[in-house]
Structure 1
Amino acid sequence: MPSGLVALLDDVSIIARTAAASIDDVAAAAGRAGSKTAGVVIDDAAVTPSYVTGLSPARELPIIWAITKGSFKNKLLILLPGALLLSEFLPGAIIFILMLGGAFLSYEGAEKVMEKLGGAKHGKTVDDVIEDPVKFEKERINGAIRTDLILSAEIMAIVLNEISSEPIAATVWGRGLTLALVAIGVTVAVYGSVALIVKMDDVGLHLTKKASSTAKTVGRFLLKAMPKLLATLSFVGTIAMLWVGGGIIVHGTHEIGFDLFYDIAHGAEYAVKAATGPLSGLLGWLTYAAISALIALGLGFAIAFLLHKVLKFEGNGH
């Protein structure tokens, strides 16, 4: 009996260690795959504050919470099951979904560039007369959730693509846990950061009313820093969209046998690496990223022209 009990406990310990190792593998795979989504995450974090800009401060956090709940539903209830079905029965489609997402990011980035250069904004903004604030707020939330669905689909596709060669991807549950970890982590990181960002000016205003000179100084700094931070986020988000979107297009077209973009981007990268010294790795990567962004910008301009000039489509805008 003791030997049987010892054997049973030994088996349990082996199962526990195996499960723990599997969880570690999932966490490690999620971390590696999640890092590849940085550009899309930055874009998401940069775009979301615009949905509450100009609205009542009292409505900022409720709006962000509503968008956050929509994002969780997008990732965990819609995209996760769909991603698992695709990876199980139609894995070849993932690269085309990636390229569709890359084209969307290219279009979004190009539109932002055109707006900065004086182009028209598409869709209603807070600068327009708002006759029904409740309806407008609902439209903003729905628009944010729709945008989140597209960006989240891109994140899930990137993760699936990145873990395809990982041991953990051999099972459906491994892929599912990895996708779920990335989905939850990204959502919390993005919308938690956005909540802090949009309330920064309120914190600053509160501090300026304190008796302490230090608190007032910090408050004034936060009030001055907020517009610059939002502008920086917008700029970085645009660059990230173009870099990631272009990189996806370069990689995707190479995967399906069209090598022109891949050869140009990587040819320039290798040439820069060969011509530079200790910084060859960084400069080579920057060259590849810059060319990828230019490819995305060209593609985005073409899509924007087709949508707005040929098809006369007017989007909701950010």
Structure 2
Amino acid sequence: MKPPTFLGGIEPLKAETWLLEMEKLFEVFPYTKTHMVLLATYTLKDEARRWWLLIRNTNGNMTWARFNEIFYEKYFLQCFRDRKVSEFQELKQSRMSVAEYKTKFTELTRFVPHMVDTDYKKAHKFEGGLDLDIFDRVRILKLPTYVQVLDRSLMAEATLAAMRQSKAPTTTTTTTITEWRGKRSGYSFRKGHSHVSKKQNTRSTSSSSQSSGSNPVCLDCERRHRGVCYRASGACFRCGKIKNGSNGDVADDSYHRYKVRLKMEVMEMWQMILTINTRYTGCTLQDSTRSVFGHVSRREASDY
């Protein structure tokens, strides 16, 4: 396995990547703390190698923890470290999973060792950045160590995910019913028959009235229709035939039935008025008719 190399420069991200890769190598191949420094410094090149040669003589038997301190002081500028400190202080889980939040948390702790120098501080800080739903389930347990807080956080996240998944089919069914009702909103069902809603009825009525408006006006009945006038011919408005000499428009047309009934009621009313006038005035029926109607012709009087 070829170890990574570091050339130096003022690029904190490259320096951090090299340091992380070296620690990954040490996990696979266990070394003593002194040998870890020797192997790491062997991979330094160019400017980084020259920097190490200057400080090597003043730091004999250097441990890996001490090497990390002086390495960060050299290749992580103060402004960069301040930015990482602020990022750690404001770190929240937000939309990350607990595993992603844990990775980011661990990455930033190397810049703020004074804030996580005890297990209680580390656990308290990690717990405070959790999502609210997970925080409520973990905080109540008052766990003292970081490992316990992390374990319970992962369990709470899995529980919440299962609860959301169990509610998902109900939501889908409700959405389907709502869409079905939306498609059927224009119809009402009654005794097995479908009836179009009022808005559709209005449109159909207006369209039918527009189509009837194109029909010519009949000179006999003064209504709009095409073809032979059944009123003038006395034919039935349903079948168009005359049976036994009966007048079809009176028998079958509601409009003309109303007109005849009104005429009969008017005649009965005037007969009552003429009878009362004749009784109290002593005039004949003909004189009472003239006094009420004035001078009318025989043809006009026959209309009443």
* TM-score of the two chains, using structure 2 as the length reference: 0.24
- The structure whose Rg is larger is 2
**Structure with the bigger percentage of helix:** 1
Query: Which has the bigger relative contact order, CA under 8 A and spacing at least 6?
Result: 1
